[in-house]
Structure 1
């Protein structure tokens, strides 16, 4: 696979300032790139790598940059975004698909699937009533449960489990070990014993969602647990039953979102943060790492701490706490002075 000069400009959405017959054969980092490959400068701190790279073309932001002889610098507004488009060209889902169903896969007779348009690895189990969209890749050992709907161009890495009746949109990526549709955590105390509450809802994963390795998204008690379009979930996150996550949110590693909470659009939940149940987080809010949220967020902003509060308030509190040792010394000195006997 190759990419010509004019095709490259069309791909990243800019007009060529001159004509060339350059042809590019792949992508790589500044340090690993070889002749014929494209790279990018995402941060000026790597300018020394730019001056030594063997890449044939580097996407760069505005600035005064230089490179090795034979390396062309192409100015773009956002090198990272432009480079992602180039990566997608060379490593697109359609290019990755090697159509066919492994003899080691077990697929129910009534599953809707086109063997000439999907890739199914050994050890996959697809149960009765399921639908698999064209262009999808299903890795080794995955389970797709009864009546699951899997959209087009999805990528399921090895060991993914999608339980019964869940709905997965187009271009969804599920990393190894994801469990979609596990039972929600619900118990009632009856006669001194914890009695399981039935969880009969489903999970809906909308288009262009990516969910990291070993995440769990619990099915709803009734209705749906929803992960909105374009949302990206990092590794080892827990999303409870009946949670509704809006569009284009970021949920970072080891987060927990308890049942029935709702996140708006473009919300960021940073690493190891926790959201208590039945809360609402408004659009474009940020919950900082290791924060604990116990009250709904109604105003966009950055929130931090446990319990979480607006970041400026939390920073003032932390600044005051950092002065406590000094204040204790001052207080001790004043107390000692006051206790000293005074002359008559």
Structure 2
């Protein structure tokens, strides 16, 4: 039995139309029925760099961005192009306002990334995971399936499937 709130959300989803026409760069592979709001940036380059000969050198970003079906990307989100392969957003996921998705990030199906969350480069988020508002995920961190990351958490360690983490630095709380 669905609650009134769930019914409202399903009705709204089924009647949602894109609010604007946005130009999709050639390096973006966009799935079906996606909703992309204004000011979303598909960034050509991320901040991948190596220290060579006493100076920082940017790593070329020649990969793609792959967005699954039924993905919602809210206003002012930034998604970085991958360095070699693909930055991926799984089907059914929602990216909140001003979220930041680093290069090579892999987001599983049906994830909710809260507003102003920052996912560092090459991090991996398992399916059905919730990342709270303003959470920071360190680069190369793996967060398992069905996890919850609290609002404002700073995640510096891998998170196993099904766990809830919060705090600064984030630790398991369940």
TM-score by length of 1: 0.48
Q: Does 1:78 align with 2:8?
A: no
Aligned to 1:234: 96
Tell me the CA shift for residue 194 of structure 1. 2.0
1:168 to 5, 16, 30: 30
In 2: Cα distance, 1:189 partner to 1:285 partner: 35
Match of 2:125 among 249, 263, 275: 263
- Secondary structure, aligned partner of 2:7: helix
Counterpart-to-counterpart distance in 1, 2:85 and 2:38:
26
8 Å CA contact retained: 2:44, 2:61: no
Q: For residues 204 and 173 of structure 1, what CA distance do their matches in structure 2 show?
A: 14
Tell whether 2:137 aligns with 1:212.
no
CA RMSD, Structure 1 to Structure 2 (Å): 1.9
CA-to-aligned-CA distance 1:233-270 (integer Å, 9 cap, x gap): 10001101110000000100111101111110111110
1:89-119 deviations in Å (ceiling 9; x for gaps): 6x454xxxxxxxxxxxxxxxxxxxxxxxxxx
Find the aligned partners of 2:16 and 2:166 in 1 and give their Cα distance: 38
Name the larger-Rg structure.
1
Describe how 1:172-187 pairs up with structure 2 within 5 A: 172-187=34-49
Q: SS of the counterpart of 2:42?
A: strand
Structure 1 segment 192-207 matched on structure 2, within 5 A: 192-207=54-69
Structure 2 unmatched ranges of 5 or more: none
Q: Are 1:157 and 2:20 an aligned pair?
A: yes
1: distance between equivalents of 2:94 and 2:65? 16
Residues 86 and 283 from structure 1, CA distance in 2 versus in 1: closer, same or farther, beyond 3 angstroms? closer
Q: 1:85 to 1:264 in 2, by over 3 A?
A: closer
Deviations 1:105-153 (A, max 9, x none): xxxxxxxxxxxxxxxxxxxxxxxxxxxxxxxxxxxxxxxxxxxxxxxxx
Say which of 253, 276, 284 aligns to 2:115: 253
Paired position in structure 1 for 2:146: 284
More relative contact order, 1 or 2 (CA 8 Å, 6+ apart)? 2
- How far apart in 1 are the matches of 2:34 and 2:115? 18
Cα distance in 2, alignment partners of residues 307 and 85 from structure 1: 36
1:163–1:181 CA contact under 8 A, matched in 2 = no
The 3-state SS of whatever aligns with 2:5 is helix
CA distance in 1, matches of 2:78, 2:16: 27
Q: Flag the structure with higher helix content.
A: 1
Q: Measure, in 2, the Cα distance between the counterparts of 1:247 and 1:292.
A: 22
Report the CA distance shift for 1:167/1:217 in structure 2 as closer, same or farther (over 3 A).
same
| Residue equivalent to 1:308 | 170
Task: Report the alpha carbon displacement of residue 232 of structure 1 after superposing the two structures with TM.
Answer: 0.4
Query: Are the counterparts in 2 of residues 167 and 203 from structure 1 also a CA contact under 8 Å?
Result: yes
**4+ long deviations beyond 6 Å:** none
Query: How far apart, in 2, do the equivalents of 1:77 and 1:246 lie?
Result: 25
State how many pairs are aligned.
174
